[in-house]
Structure 1
């Protein structure tokens, strides 16, 4: 399956990066309520993601919320500990919800996997963003 507008997100186990460590959740639990803007990155601390993507969403956060987005999430094929450190490093704690797809289950189910072994980081996710309304994809942008 690949993501497409008008379709529900594929379900998978994900991990929320919390102050108490990883918290197991599911795509359905995370995306079922409200309008959620998600941006997905190949990896935390990678140059483009660290310098451009996460800071860009932090800068646009208030504008997105004013347009009816209820929550902004960042998803990556990293473990929740790395995503927690990235949130602290970039002052994103409490502003953007960090979600670990550490096993790549959602990424594969969404058809967004990419092999970055040539760069030494293995199987990751493509860089893309989407908006959902109660778990249904309403907008999708793939780099």
Structure 2
């Protein structure tokens, strides 16, 4: 079942690179915080690299001015996420998170099968806003679209 507004985010473990590979759980990422999480089907893919991540990089300071942390997630490994972040000049503080096995995407009910494109199981393209681990806004894209999960759209939804 797909997560809904008002639901608490499920517990899962994600990875990131700091001083080596670091495992971080979702309660650590979300509890007691205001957070925007956006997910992409794949690092280095065209829409993700040309439009989705760049919008969050461009508007990063606006999120920070509102006291909102920004997290980017993809079903890739943490080394790919680190390299993608570097190639996109992601600012310090915009966390690049790997959901390597898709466990969190699946727990959210936002997994998709991209096997037809040779990509296996991936995350749907989405953005969400959570306060203290509870979803307040959720924007899930229709297949092949990029509209409602943009930085500009979720910025317009923030209190």
Instruction: Place the TM-score, normalised by the shorter chain, in its bin.
Output: over 0.9
Tell me which residue corresponds to 2:47. 48
> Structure 2: how far apart are the matches of 1:114 and 1:46?
16
Question: Given that residues 21 and 81 in structure 1 are in contact (C-alpha distance below 8 angstroms), is that contact kept between their aligned partners in structure 2?
Answer: no
Single out whichever of 9-18 and 105-114 deviates more from structure 2. Answer: 9-18
Q: CA RMSD in A?
A: 1.1
Given candidates 120, 125, 128, the residue that maps to 1:127 is: 125
Q: How many residues align?
A: 141
> Structure 2: how far apart are the matches of 1:76 and 1:131?
17
Structure with larger RCO (C-alpha < 8 A, sep 6+): 1
Given candidates 74, 77, 84, the residue that maps to 1:76 is: 74
**TM-score, with structure 2 as normaliser:** 0.85
Tell me which residue corresponds to 2:16. 16
1:15-34 mapped onto 2 (5 Å cutoff): 15-18=15-18, 20-34=19-33
The alpha carbon displacement at 1:93 in A equals 4.5
Single out whichever of 120-129 and 56-65 deviates more from structure 2. Answer: 56-65
**TM-score, with structure 1 as normaliser:** 0.94
- Which residues of structure 2 form unaligned runs of 5+? 142-159
- Which residues of structure 1 form unaligned runs of 5+? none
| Structure 1 residue runs of 4 or more that deviate by more than 3 Å after TM superposition | none
> Structure 2: how far apart are the matches of 1:93 and 1:141?
24
Question: Given that residues 113 and 124 in structure 1 are in contact (C-alpha distance below 8 angstroms), is that contact kept between their aligned partners in structure 2?
Answer: yes
Question: Given that residues 73 and 97 in structure 2 are in contact (C-alpha distance below 8 angstroms), is that contact kept between their aligned partners in structure 1?
Answer: yes
Question: Given that residues 36 and 72 in structure 1 are in contact (C-alpha distance below 8 angstroms), is that contact kept between their aligned partners in structure 2?
Answer: yes
Question: Given that residues 57 and 91 in structure 2 are in contact (C-alpha distance below 8 angstroms), is that contact kept between their aligned partners in structure 1?
Answer: no
Tell me which residue corresponds to 1:85. 83
Question: Given that residues 75 and 98 in structure 1 are in contact (C-alpha distance below 8 angstroms), is that contact kept between their aligned partners in structure 2?
Answer: yes
Tell me which residue corresponds to 1:105. 103
Which whole-Å deviations, capped at 9, do the CAs of 1:94-130 have from their partners, x for residues lacking one?
Answer: 1410111101110111111111111111110000000
Single out whichever of 60-69 and 90-99 deviates more from structure 2. Answer: 60-69
The alpha carbon displacement at 1:25 in A equals 1.3
